[in-house]
Amino acid sequence: MAVSKAGAAGCILLMPALFITLIAAILTWVDPTVLILNPLWYVIILMIGSIILDFGVLLIAVGAMKLGKIYKDALSKGAGILGLIAAMIGLVATILVLVGAFVPALTGIAGILNLVTFIMFGVFFLLLGIAFVILRAKTGKTGLAMATGIMTIIAGSMFCSFVLSFIGIIILIPVAILAAMLFLKAKGGAPEVGEVKKLVVRPAVVKVKKRMKPEEIEAEVHKYVKEHPEGIDLAECAKGLGVSEDEVETAVNALVKKGKLETG
């Protein structure tokens, strides 16, 4: 059972968002004037990247909270809550950028919110990475959880520094792939209420044969011999009648003495 399909979906959604953000950053580095002129195509690229990024982080945050619920981990839950808040602020900032085209005064507020969102994303990834490392044994994927955790911590730290955020974006691309695998392949823990299948328990049926008297054993052995005129094997006869070999042998000897059976 996957820990969180929502978390895995968020990681997958994060990858195109990071690529778009990376392309925008490269375009800015090649031609710094785009930051001043803000051409329409550049704004559209940033808007698409921001929206996908916000929804991706939102889903990963849901996955982090599910992780905390399954493994009883407060850090994962806390990181998830922080991620949800950051994603919401990011979406508000994106809406303000759109409205800012008509109300320029809102553009400055949107810029501040974007900066706050960026830093909160960094803290979110930092805490999530630490949670991955702490919970590595419980996930059943120790190596994968450790690698994902360490890389997520590094990426989150880069985001928090803001100056090195470009490197953080690059690191987050493979992190998204590893985290998606972890969300899908980690052990799901104990099944939740409602997920436990009904278990039907029935008492074991044990056949207990009634202890037979010697004359009854003789009658059964005599009947068994008639059914096997080619001869009998004491072990097979005993097994078939549910008695010991000694009892069968005693019954055979008694039947021979009585002239009911012949040996040879």
Task: Give the model confidence (pLDDT) of 20-53 as tens digits.
Answer: 877 877 777 777 776 566 667 777 777 888 888 8
Among 133, 165, 185, residue at a domain's last position: 185
In contact, 45 and 23? CB cutoff 8 Å: yes
Among 132, 167, 185, residue at a domain's last position: 185
- For residue 21, the enclosing domain spans 5-185
- Percent of the chain surpassing pLDDT 90: 22
In contact, 132 and 152? CB cutoff 8 Å: yes
- Residue 102: inside a domain: yes
Q: How far apart are CA 206 and CA 29, in angstroms?
A: 81
User: What tens digit of pLDDT does each residue of 141-196 get?
Assistant: 899 999 999 999 999 898 787 778 778 888 888 999 999 998 888 876 544 444 44
Q: What is the pTM of this model?
A: 0.65
User: What tens digit of pLDDT does each residue of 184-234 get?
Assistant: 888 765 444 444 445 455 555 444 455 788 888 888 888 888 888 777 888
Any idea which residue has 């409205």 for tokens? 99
- Residue 148: inside a domain: yes
Q: Flag whether pLDDT at 65 surpasses 90.
A: yes
Output the pLDDT for position 106.
79
Q: Is the dihedral of CA 73, 76, 82, 85 positive or negative?
A: negative
- Residue 174: inside a domain: yes
* Same domain assignment for residues 134 and 230: no
* Same domain assignment for residues 62 and 165: yes
* Same domain assignment for residues 68 and 137: yes
Q: How far apart are CA 109 and CA 100, in angstroms?
A: 9
Please report how many Cα atoms fall inside a 13 Å half-sphere around the Cα of residue 96, on the Cβ side.
Answer: 17
